[in-house]
A and B are shown apart, each in its own frame.
Chain A
Amino acid sequence: EVQLLESGGAVAQLGGSLRLSCEASGFIFENYAMAWVRQAPGKGLEWVSILSGSGLSDYYTDSVRGRFTISRDNSKNMLYLQMNSLRGEDTAVYYCAKDTTGGAPNYYFDSWGQGTLVTVSS
């Protein structure tokens, strides 16, 4: 059974930094691209970033490019999101999500974690 467990969500200061983690189990982690998708309180879903299975190719939505960095450690089955220069609009539940392929991502997601809440406060 695929399991994804996020951690690291917290209250952060405007302009501050936070690092999210996602521990994966139940599948061959390095064989799949992994993504972060967020959901602001009471709002819809927004794709944030995705990383290929090898970790060599990363992609970002425009609003976070240059501020967020996605990475992974395949030896530990871990996915990360380093979030810098945080803004109020980054406040959301951040989900770790498994893509359906490992090379070039398919960009749709067949397993989701429970999410971790990031609140950016002034």
Chain B
Amino acid sequence: DIQMTQSPSSLSASVGDRVTITCRASESVSVWVAWYQQAPGRVPKLLIFDASTLESGVPQRFSGSGSGTEFTLTITSLQPDDFGTYYCQQYQDYASFGPGTQVEMK
């Protein structure tokens, strides 16, 4: 099974900050990584797939990069709607999610 890890597990940031979240896979998953946002009390929302492709309707302040075993989600200017938990997910071999990174207001 492919294990996904994320760092940090949580972070505090202010509106306007640049935020970077890292995701690592236990073996190569090529570019088969998606990122989701789960706002408090809400359902997960797909942000990025294929490591760097922005889902339709997602603001361009979100971007993804990486391949192989290391991936990054970047939010260039954090907005109030962006607080919540972010999950990476691999789909090279079935599906498995990272443990999540909680983005909290500083």
Interface residue ranges, A against B (CB under 8 Å): 35, 37, 44-47, 50, 59, 61-62, 95, 100, 106-110, 112-115
Contact = CB atoms under 8 A, between A and B. Distances in A.
B97 interface: yes
A99 to B, nearest CB: 10
Contacts of B98: 44
A107 B91 contact: yes
Nearest to B50: A108
Contacts of A62: 1
B13 interface: no
Query: Could you say which interface size class chain B belongs to?
Result: 20 to 34
B49 A45 contact: no
18 contacts: A35-B95, A37-B44, A44-B97, A44-B98, A44-B99, A44-B100, A45-B89, A47-B95, A47-B96, A95-B44, A100-B49, A107-B95, A108-B34, A108-B46, A108-B49, A108-B89, A109-B34, A110-B46
Nearest to B48: A108
B55 interface: yes
Nearest to B93: A107
Chain A to chain B: the 4 pairs with minimum beta-carbon distance, closest first: A107-B91, A47-B95, A108-B34, A107-B95
Interface of B: 1, 34, 36, 38, 43-46, 49, 55, 87, 89, 91, 94-100
A114 B43 contact: yes
Nearest to B44: A112
B29 to A, nearest CB: 11
A61 B94 CA distance: 8
Nearest to B92: A107
Given A61-B94, A100-B49, A110-B55, A45 B34 contact: no
Contact of A44 (B43, B87, B91, B94): B87
Contacts of B97: 44-47
Nearest to B34: A108
Q: Which of A44, A59, A110, A114 has the most CB of B within 10 A?
A: A44
Contact of A107 (B1, B38, B94, B99): B94
